[in-house]
Amino acid sequence: MPHIKLECTANVKMDFQGFFKALCQQLVATGHAPKLGMKCRLVVADTFYIIDGNPDYKMVNLLFSLREGRSKETLANFSQIGMDLLENYLKEEVKAKKIIVSTEIKELIKGQDLTKNAIR
């Protein structure tokens, strides 16, 4: 863990690999996320409607799916790390007020959400 999913509209252009690398490094540095558990993926929406349908509007949502048990402070820190990186990577869009940026955390319940890592 964690599973990290970046959902965005197709009009978002950024260095996704660089973003994921920086995000993983910062999360691991907290001591609350194992390097061997990092899994990141990008989900791009070709069809979207934001506010009034203006095609220049963009959105990104960073979803962390984590095993339960981390403190609220740790979860808030993960969200803040993600938000800070998103705002840095998308600073022009944020400055132009053309993008909605969000983070989300989903805690996975031990015994219900199963994982088998065959890479180790």
Indicate whether 113 belongs to any domain. Answer: no
Q: Give the residue carrying structure tokens 């095609």.
A: 55
Q: What is the DSSP letter of 35?
A: G
- Nearest of 37, 27, 32, 116 to residue 80 by alpha carbon: 27
pLDDT digits (tens, 9 = 90+) for 27-42: 999 999 999 889 999 9
Q: Which structural domain, as residue segments, surrounds residue 94?
A: 3-108
Domain holding 48: CATH number? 3.30.429.10
Within a domain: 116: no
Any alpha helices (H) in 1-120, and if so which ranges? 16-29, 72-89, 91-95
In angstroms, the Cα distances linking 14 to 11, 59, 89 are 10, 12, 7
Query: Does some domain include residue 45?
Result: yes
Note whether residue 117 is domain-resident.
no
pLDDT above 90: percentage of residues in the chain: 81
Assess if residue 114 is contained within a domain: no
Number of domains, the chain: 1
- DSSP-assigned states of every residue in 3-22: EEEEEEETT--S-HHHHHHH
Kindly report whether the global pTM for this prediction surpasses the value 0.85.
yes
pLDDT digits over 98-114, tens only? 999 999 999 988 877 77
CB of 64 closer than 8 Å to CB of 78: yes
* Structural domain includes residue 19: yes
Query: Does 28 fall in a domain?
Result: yes
For residue 48, being part of any structural domain is answered with yes
